[in-house]
Chains A and B, each alone.
Chain A
Amino acid sequence: MTQNPDPFDGKRWHDMGGDAAGPVPTDQHDFSLWEKRVDALMVICSSKGHFTVDGLRRVLEDMGPEAFETMNYYERWIASVNQNLIEAGVYTTAELAQRMTEVAARGPTYGEASGG
């Protein structure tokens, strides 16, 4: 984060070109199945016109810098995909709420909860 004691000037957190930052990190991870599924859902739903890539970005931006620092990439993406699908009327919050509770009741791991 840049140290900026001045009042907010309109430059948003995600618009980071030119900010001071440390060395470029070299860690690399392989994508897990659930991350690939999030990626696939984004591509499929946007290609079918349920939302746009800019809609995806808009929600990611509005989630703020704290989400950028505390959630990983595909966690932020699924949160944004969900927000866009609800805004588009593809399903309701109530439908999601009930299904999430059902999912969690299946078991404590991703494999059990996703039914394999």
Chain B
Amino acid sequence: MVERTYMRVRPDMPPGHVRTPAYLRGKTGWVERRLGPFPNPEELAYGHKGNRLPVMRVRFTMAEVWGAGAETPDDTIDAEIYAHWLEETDPPHAS
């Protein structure tokens, strides 16, 4: 089995146009695939030329995102997250 690279989504709550959903902030998942680079939408939205950033498809378990109330803990959510929102981290203890 391929070693998973785990990423934690930064928990920041800035104002303005951001493409990192709030429900994933502070959550840890693993890299499903790497994409990009794509221009940063946080800059494009305000008429600036976006810095090109790697984007990762990160996979989260429902248990990680919703905790004990998860509908089915082992179901997953994938989302595309721009690199400046991600920090490499250790696997969560639960898995």
Binding site for B on A (CB under 8 A): 9-12, 15, 17-18, 51-55, 57-58, 61, 87-88
Q: Which residues of B contact A12 (CB under 8 A)?
A: 15, 22
Binding site for A on B (CB under 8 A): 13-17, 19, 21-24, 41-42, 44-47, 65-66
CA distance A10 to B17 in the complex (A): 12
Q: What would be 19 A-B contacts, judged by CB atoms less than 8 Å apart?
A: A10-B14, A10-B22, A11-B22, A17-B21, A18-B23, A18-B65, A18-B66, A52-B41, A52-B44, A54-B42, A54-B45, A57-B17, A57-B41, A57-B45, A58-B16, A58-B17, A58-B45, A61-B17, A88-B47
Q: A10-B14, A10-B15 are in contact. Are A54 and B44 (CB under 8 A)?
A: yes
Q: How far is the CB of B66 from chain A (nearest CB, A)?
A: 7
Q: Which residues of A contact B19 (CB under 8 A)?
A: 54
On whether the beta carbons of B46 and A58 are closer than 8 Å, the reply is: yes
Interface secondary structure of B, over-half rule:
loop
Interface contact tally, CB-CB below 8 A: 44
Q: How far is the CB of A85 from chain B (nearest CB, A)?
A: 12
Q: How far is the CB of A90 from chain B (nearest CB, A)?
A: 12
Known: A15-B21, A54-B19, A54-B45. 20 other contacts (CB 8 A): A10-B22, A11-B13, A12-B15, A15-B22, A15-B23, A17-B21, A18-B66, A52-B41, A53-B44, A54-B17, A54-B42, A54-B44, A55-B45, A55-B46, A57-B41, A57-B45, A58-B17, A58-B45, A61-B17, A88-B47
Q: Which residues of B contact A15 (CB under 8 A)?
A: 21-23
Which residue of chain B has its CB nearest to the CB of A61? B17
Q: Which residues of B contact A55 (CB under 8 A)?
A: 44-47
Q: Which residues of B contact A17 (CB under 8 A)?
A: 21-24
